[in-house]
Amino acid sequence: MRLVVTGRDGQVTRALQALAGPDLEVVALGRDAFDLAAEGDATAVFAQVRPDVIVNAGAYTAVDKAESERELAFAVNGRGAGRVARAAAALNVPVIQISTDYVFDGSGEKPWRESDAVGPLGAYGASKSAGEEAVRAATPNHAILRTSWVYAPWGANFVKTMLRLAQTRPELQVVADQWGAPTSALDIAQGVVAVARNLLARPHDETLRGVFHMTAQGETTWADFAREIFAQSAAHGGASANVVSIPTSGYPTPAKRPPNSRLSTQKLADTHGVRLPHWRDGLKRVMAAMAEGERQSAASLG
């Protein structure tokens, strides 16, 4: 199976590349090959690399900056997603669109279901919601996978930020009234591959198409996530810090965050047979990968 993935340097793309092997080829298209913010028909670009499945993992992800760069966010996340899906339709291949919990307003305490009405709080969420609509309009042969709180051994993410700050600060204040499921890009990649194989194996099964929530199992707050990061880091001999819980009001940002990012993943399990590991287990894999990377780096310098 050949996956053609947008966003060459993204966390999910790099995780997909790490899974490549004899029965899985991953072709990543960077901005030089395909710019999501550009205009025009993208069919020829994708036709050149002969995809079995297209995965649109590229995105504008600067949540706060999107408030002042709304047009760019919509160009990439909204219209760009539509261009990818129209190319997939023209080539008669499935498209997997990576989306986000930010399409919801975060009200209540129950996990959001795929059938719940969206209501994004800011420009980023609105642009991703527009991308979902564009994909649905372009082709029925799609799987929209909403995930949350994504992190990986590489790139810019909450885990990397916490560990960096702990190098110089003994104590950190972290928001404790936002709930969700931290989800490792390593686990997301495995889920994407499983969904892609299902789409190819059952091309006429409508139940495998549509919107699905794909996050780690369990739930936590950012503060408790940080505490677990430091606990696991300390176990590897890494940086650690004391975490002080604060309310969202204590850490104002240009974009509002949904207080409830819990997503029900039952539909994905029932239809695709995919259920990601618990978030603590996902974190263990990422922390182990980071520790191994540091050991290899030290060995090469030695």
Catalytic annotation present for 124: yes
Report residue 120 as tokens: 């994004």
Distance CA 202, CA 193 (A): 14
At 193, the amino acid letter reads: V
Which residue in the list 102, 124, 151, 251 is annotated as catalytic?
124
| Residues with catalytic function | 124
